[in-house]
Structure 1
Amino acid sequence: MNPQQSPPPAQVCVRHTDRPTGLSCTRCGRPACPECLRPASVGQHCVDCVRADRRTTPQVRTVSGAAAARSGTPIVTYTLIALNVLVYVVTAAQSRSLMANERGSALFVDWVMFPPAVASGDWFRVIGSGFLHYGLIHLLLNMFALYIVGRDIELVLGRARYLAVYLISLLGGSAAVMLLAQNSLTAGASGAVYGLFGAITVILIRLRQNPNSMLILIGINVFISFSLPGISLWGHLGGLAAGTLATLGVVFLPSWLGARTPERARVVGIVALVTLAVAVLAVIVVATMALR
């Protein structure tokens, strides 16, 4: 009689050697347990092959050169809304009023945009004023507009570029107020929001979509800014100009300068944003020196 042969050893997962398995990766052929396998178009791949495939697959990019977000959650937009709401809650609590939160609020007094105060050294007002609002209606209107346009802009530009455009728009509004409305008390995210109106219009043109609806909306808002008292016309126009120029620098300037690779396009866009930010800050400095 032939001696009884022992059965071959069972396969074990290459990542978990204590787990016998009858499964294997259809790409590399190595045994793997169900926890280490992922569904694929043909069969199933182990996590190591999935990771290697992601490294070798070219990154999908938007028209701005930004990496396409794996998650569609507009984190920057939600964060900006949260910060504006938080600042409003603080001013409302200090003033004990939802509709007249500017009265009796120390934070409002310290942050509101007043060019002579900036010239005296209160530099933070040029940013902080963009997070203040005169009453609940003012806040709700700006946050609604930020929510509507901000989400799409963030997906196209990417989080970092989008935040840069927002802040440059905010500074552009402050710069215009410093130059042309030196005796006003200005507050609100409107300058930044107007900048986003300009940004989405530029993006629509770049995507070869009809921008007429945004152009009409901008025209209506500019007309309202001209017509109604108490609205910061120059803050709105300054933000609109800054946001439009910033987005042009990101989505159009690289092709105008012949940047043929995504890396060069990103560099051109970053340089454009930095240059515009420096120019806006220079305007604020010049206006400050003139006030002094």
Structure 2
Amino acid sequence: MNNPGWGASAEGGGLPPQPRCVRHPDRPTLLSCTRCGRPFCTECLQPASVGHQCVDCVAQGHRSVPTARTVAGAPVRTDRPTPIVTYVLLALNVLVFAITAMQSGSVLNNERSSQLFVDWGLYPPYIVYGGEYVRLLGSGFLHFGLMHLAVNMFALWIIGRDTEIVLGRLRYLGVYLVSILGGSTAVMFLQTEALTAGASGAVFGLLGAQTVILLRLRRSPTPVLVVIALNVFISLTIPGISLAGHLGGLAAGAAATAAFLYGPQLLGAGRDRDRIVRTGWVAFGVVTAVTLALVTLSVLQPSV
């Protein structure tokens, strides 16, 4: 019994040839994709909710699924996102402090004999008459002593991580920098003879950002407002703290965040996700332009 009815003799006996895998033509297969119906081998098929799908259909399905986004329009990359920008900002502040401490030879009085502190400290006359505009942002990375640094970095670590996750990395960085600029602008108007520095303006800006975020999510902002009120009280009662810088940063951070969260609605972006994202950046650009205009006005103020 040499021929039981299958094998090579059966194939030559008029049976139709087996289909070949679309991606591997040398492989016969009896399997097919439940979505497109084309034949594929086991290597090219992946389990699906119903049956198996080929790698091409799986990839197409992934592209058709809309990207999950936060209330600010930032893409949600993972279930446990890493606030990279916050960690980088923490590192930059610590690095700048280390440089000033090495230059001055002191951790407690690092502002003395530090060339970087001399070049970046926010002293309005140097900006008005010397055009040293780097001080407007550079001062936001300087700190008077280790305690000043520790308080601000702790606040940034607590507040910044959640804010970054909601806003997304680029929006968060934009709000942070505009908050520094807003704090510097307020100092230019209200403390024209004071030397100020610190990330406090940016931290207050993030507090303003969190307030706007909570309002957008229809949650009570009371806890954040209590923290803001407590810090304003401390700024009023302890000498040497720049209340103007804090309030300027608070206003700029809140306005910049509102541009992202409420700007698209006010500018009629509709429900198109891409248009909402673009319009949010346009609104943020308007807030930034207004802040820069106020900076210019503060510089021109003595001559007006």
Match of 2:282 among 257, 266, 271: 271
- Report the CA distance shift for 1:9/1:44 in structure 2 as closer, same or farther (over 3 A): closer
Deviations 1:45-94 (A, max 9, x none): 55443332221112222212222233601111111111111111111111
Equivalenced residue count is 290
1:160-211, CA deviations, whole angstroms, 9 ceiling, x for partnerless residues? 1111111111100010011111111111111011000010011011111121
Q: Which moved more, 1:162-171 or 1:137-146?
A: 137-146
Selected match of 1:212 from 222, 231, 239: 222
Distance 1:25 1:82, change over 3 A: farther
Aligned mates of 1:30, 1:249 — CA distance in 2: 52
Aligned partners of 1:13 and 1:20 also within 8 Å: no
Aligned to 1:233: 243
Relative contact order, higher structure (CA 8 A, sep 6+): 1
Provide Cα deviations, 1:78-130, integer angstroms capped at 9, x if missing partner: 11111111111111111122222111211111111111111211110001000
Q: Is the 8 A contact 2:20 2:39 kept in 1?
A: no
What's the CA shift for 1:37? 6.3
Counterpart in 2 of 1:64?
A: 72
Q: Partners in 2 of 1:43 and 1:170 — Cα distance?
A: 56
After TM superposition, the score normalised by the length of structure 1 is 0.88
Aligned residues with identical type, % of pairs: 54
TM-score, normalisation: structure 2: 0.84
How far off is 1:221 after superposition? 0.4
Which residue is equivalent to 1:116?
A: 125
The match for 1:5 is 8
Relative to structure 1, is the Cα distance of residues 116 and 59 closer, same or farther in structure 2, using a 3 angstrom cutoff?
Answer: same
Distance 2:155 2:108 in 1: 20
The 10-residue stretch of structure 1 (125-134 or 244-253) with the greater mean CA deviation from structure 2: 244-253
Residues 127, 5 of structure 1: CA spacing in aligned structure 2 closer, same or farther, 3 A cutoff?
Answer: same
The separation in 1 between residues aligned to 2:85 and 2:32, in whole angstroms, is: 41
Q: CA deviation at 1:263?
A: 2.8
SS where residue 221 of structure 1 aligns? helix
Q: Which residue of 2 aligns with 1:142?
A: 152
The one of 86, 92, 98 equivalent to 1:89 is 98
Task: Compare 258-267 and 77-86 and name the one that shifted more.
Answer: 258-267
Conserved 8 A contact 2:30-2:39: no
Partner of 2:84 in structure 1?
75
What is the SS of the residue equivalent to 1:241? helix
User: 1:166 corresponds to which letter in structure 2?
Assistant: Y
Matched residue of 1:98: which SS?
coil
Bigger radius of gyration:
2
Gaps of 5+ in 2: 12-16
1:10 and 1:209, CA in 2 relative to 1: closer, same or farther beyond 3 A? same
Give distance in 2, aligned partners of 1:148 and 1:266: 27
User: Distance between the aligned counterparts of 1:82 and 1:18, measured in 2?
Assistant: 56
1:50 is matched with 58
Relative to structure 1, the CA distance from residue 289 to residue 40 in structure 2 (aligned partners, 3 Å threshold; closer, same or farther) is same
Give the distance between the partners of 1:19 and 1:110, measured in 2 at CA.
71
